[in-house]
Amino acid sequence: MLTHIPPDGVAPGNGYSHVVVGEGRLVVISGQVALDEKGNVVGEGDAAAQARQVFENLRRCLAAGGATFADVAKLTFYVTDVAVLPEVRVARDAHIDTARPPASTAVQVAALFRPELLLEVEALAIVPW
């Protein structure tokens, strides 16, 4: 079980939690990109399609670690253009509890490892013992 704590003296998060505390086994998911199971880019030039694939890949990785999105304490977003964040949020919100969102960080980067990729997302989850 994760506890979301609003810290005193810090402006409320808009769509994310500042502090998430949990007790259990840590599951660390490497950054996921919009590659299908064969390594092909999904949704070239389409941030919404890429975000959907990224979150499907995250779901599969979490499951492999015995976790679900309900166990995610932290998401880190790397995007090549912050203008895609609203589309990314739509995909994210289809998977998380928006009333108790994970802690999050979003960073704009110059590029990812393949020029067709628009975003990469990594996750930290805490699974109860």
Indicate which CATH number applies to the domain containing 51: 3.30.1330.40
Task: Provide the pLDDT for residue 129.
Answer: 87
Task: Provide the pLDDT for residue 96.
Answer: 97
Is 23 in contact with 126 (CB distance < 8 Å)? yes
Answer whether 0.75 is exceeded by the pTM: yes
Token pair for 69: 């999105």
Task: Provide the pLDDT for residue 65.
Answer: 97
Is 74 in contact with 20 (CB distance < 8 Å)? yes
Task: Provide the pLDDT for residue 5.
Answer: 94
- Cα–Cα distance for residue pair 74/62, rounded to 1 Å: 13
Backbone φ and ψ for 26, nearest 5 degrees, come out as: -80, 130
Q: Tell me the H-state helices in 8-83.
A: 47-64
Task: Provide the pLDDT for residue 28.
Answer: 97
Task: Provide the pLDDT for residue 70.
Answer: 97
Task: Provide the pLDDT for residue 102.
Answer: 98
Give the number of domains in the chain. 1
Mean pLDDT by runs of 10 across the 129 residues of the chain is 93 94 96 97 98 98 97 98 98 97 98 97 96
Range of the domain at 121: 2-127
* Closest residue by Cα to residue 98 from 69, 57, 62: 69
Is 3 in contact with 21 (CB distance < 8 Å)? yes
